[in-house]
Amino acid sequence: MEIFVTGIGAISCIGNNVQEHFDTLIAERSGIKKGSHPHSERFLVGEVPLTNEELIDRFQLKINGSRTGLLGCVAAKEAFSGHLLREDIRTGVISGTSVGGMDVSEIQYRSYMNNGTHDISKYKEHSSGNSSEEIALELGIDGFVNTISTACSSAANAIMMGARMIRSGALDRVIVGGTDALSEFTISGFRSLMIFDEEWCRPFDESRKGLNLGEGAGFIVIESAASIEKSGSTSLARLKGWSNASDAYHQTASSPDGYGATLSISEAMKVANLKPEDIDYINAHGTATPNNDLSESKAIMQVFGEQIPPFSSTKAFTGHTLAAAGGLEAVFSVLAIQHGYLFANLNHRNAIEETKLVPVTRTTKVETIRNVLSNSFGFGGNNSTIILGEL
């Protein structure tokens, strides 16, 4: 069964909507800069430059929840704009998030620890499941709601779950993607792991030292052909392949040989029924940590051999938006196919010595992009790949 993408939505430090993202990707302008909050000012981060109140106001949100929920509502609303709810189109929301409403809880919990007072009612925003239920509420969807929480691969897995639900006949149309707000919890967590780069991150560069964090949300609407017949939606691309595999190596590090990543890439190509030469662009996970980029490079080399397609990581634009990354990058993949662009891997100077792989360093117009393979790898050895293609 063919699955079509009929809507895209995005918010991150490089744009409040899809068009702004596209313009910034073409202009090769990173959104990563010195943080503006007490917990982020010591780091280079990709913050959405709008307060929660500004988000609610500007995007006329009905929901007033966690920042994770709000960012999700903005992107999902854009993706779903122009779509109508109908009784005969079973519509669901499947969203990924890593920490859900932690941005709210951590403020209350700090107050509770420091002086024993906190606003108990705020904790109702805490659970990860709430952010997805808020998105469904914002869009008026009362069908299936599902939250995936597999750290940095959450959005890719949400997209995969949506595709499988459509293919099984359980749903006709699903808004899929992910959302994560920057929280002190997350920043402290990555700080404790010592995988921050104090400078701008340099994916796939020999000198890479670590990642810059970001926040945002990316969603796509996927539909079956039968659903499109009723909805009259315009297809932008096809969702052709997906896979998830487990590295089973280490809780936070990837295996040196990229075994789990190799499995997920090759299985997604099998699902899409595509050969290596059919892939025209790889939007890599490319977090710029020494470990990820080497492991991912090896996986790409194992699957593609000598003929490695143009590849890049867009993390140097947005920062690593964690559970939202796979959603934002699915949107970028659709843009690549629609407009024929390979997006720049910013800040790249020298190839990793061990692999010699050189990513696309400038945003480049090409004649046609038939299929884009997008990787998302998370803690727990959770490796996911999706493939988007032309119609």
Partner 1 sequence: MSAVITSIVSIGHQDSFGKENIWETLQPLGTQSEVVAPDYKTYISPASLRRFSPVLRMALTAAQVCQNETVLPFDAISVGTSLGCLKDTERFLQTFITATGDTLSPTAFIQSTHNTIAGAISMALGNHSYNMTHTQNSLSFETALIDGLLCIQEGKKSVLVGAADEAIEFLELLKPQVIQSAFPFTSGATFLSLQPEGNGTKKAVMDCSVHFNNTNTEEAIATFLKNNQVDSDTIELVLFAGEIPRTIGAKQVNYEQYTGLYYSSAAFACHLATDYALSKEKYILIVNHQVNGKLGLTLIR
The amino acid that residue 98 corresponds to is S
The yes or no reply on residue 329 touching partner 1 (CB under 8 A) is: no
Rule CB under 8 A: choose which of 26, 33, 123, 235 binds partner 1. 123
CB of 379 to partner 1, least distance (A): 5
Pick 125 or 293: Cβ nearer partner 1: 125
Question: How many residues sit close enough to partner 1 to count as binding (CB under 8 A)?
Answer: 61
Per rule CB under 8 A, is residue 302 in the interface with partner 1? no
Q: Quick one: which of 249, 358, 361, 366 contacts partner 1 (CB under 8 A)?
A: 249
What does each C-alpha distance from 59 to 13, 62, 70 come to in angstroms?
Answer: 16, 9, 10
Site stretch for partner 1 (CB under 8 A), options 58-66, 99-107, 199-207, 348-356: 99-107
Q: Which of 233, 227, 226, 203 is nearest to 81 (CA)?
A: 233
Taking contact as CB under 8 A, which single stretch among the options 162-170, 174-182, 288-296, 325-333 is the one that binds partner 1?
162-170
- CA dist list (Å): 252 to 190, 193, 235, 377: 11, 9, 38, 10
The single residue among 17, 109, 207, 351 that binds partner 1, judged by CB under 8 A, is 109
Nearest alpha carbon to residue 342 among 106, 20, 65, 25:
25
Examine residue 106 and tell whether it contacts partner 1 (CB under 8 A): yes
Does the protein bind partner 1 through residue 34 (CB under 8 A)?
Answer: no
State yes or no: residue 268 binds partner 1 (CB under 8 A): no
Q: Is 386 in the site for partner 1 (CB under 8 A)?
A: no
Q: Which is nearer to partner 1, 87 or 113 (CB)?
A: 113
- One of 260, 310, 326, 359 touching partner 1 (CB under 8 A): 260
Q: Which of 136, 175, 272, 334 binds partner 1 (CB under 8 A)?
A: 136
Token pair recorded at residue 351: 């190839």
SS3 assignment for the chain: CCEEEEEEEEEECCECCHHHHHHHHHHCCCCCEECCCCCCCCCEEECCCCCHHHHHHHCCCCCCCCHHHHHHHHHHHHHHCCCCCCCCCCEEEEEECCCCCHHHHHHHHHHHHHHCCCCHHHHHHCCHHHHHHHHHHHHCCCCCEEEECCHHHHHHHHHHHHHHHHHCCCCCEEEEEEEECCCHHHHHHHHHHCCECCCCCCCCECCCCCECEECEEEEEEEEEHHHHHHHCCCCCEEEEEEEEEECCCCCCCCCCCCHHHHHHHHHHHHHHCCCHHHCCEEECCCCCCHHHHHHHHHHHHHHHCCCCCCEECCHHHHCECHHHHHHHHHHHHHHHHHHCEECCCCCCCCECCCCCCCCCCCCEECCCCCEEEEEEEEHHHEEEEEEEECC
For residue 98, state whether it binds partner 1 (rule: CB under 8 A): yes
In this chain, which of 38, 88, 113, 353 binds partner 1, going by CB under 8 A?
113
Binding status of residue 379 toward partner 1 by CB under 8 A: yes
193, 301, 351, 366: residue in contact with partner 1 (rule CB under 8 A): 193
- Rounded to whole angstroms, how far apart are CA atoms 128 and 357? 38
If you search the block for the tokens 């859900």, which residue do you land on? 100
Taking CB under 8 A as the rule, does residue 129 contact partner 1?
Answer: yes
CB closer to partner 1, 233 vs 264: 264
Region binding partner 1 by CB under 8 A among candidate stretches 5-13, 76-84, 142-150, 363-371 = 142-150
Q: Which residues are catalytic?
A: 152, 285, 320
Nearer to partner 1, 126 or 173 (CB): 126
Q: Indicate which single residue of 60, 115, 117, 121 sits in contact with partner 1 (rule: CB under 8 A).
A: 121
How near is the Cβ of 357 to partner 1 at its closest, in Å?
A: 24
Quick check: 3 binds partner 1 (CB under 8 A)? no
- Site string (200-219) toward partner 1, x via CB under 8 A: --------------------
- Site for partner 1, rule CB under 8 A: 98, 100, 105-106, 109-110, 113-114, 120-121, 123-124, 126-130, 132-133, 136, 142-151, 157, 161, 164-165, 168, 170, 184-185, 188-189, 191-194, 244-252, 259-260, 263, 378-382
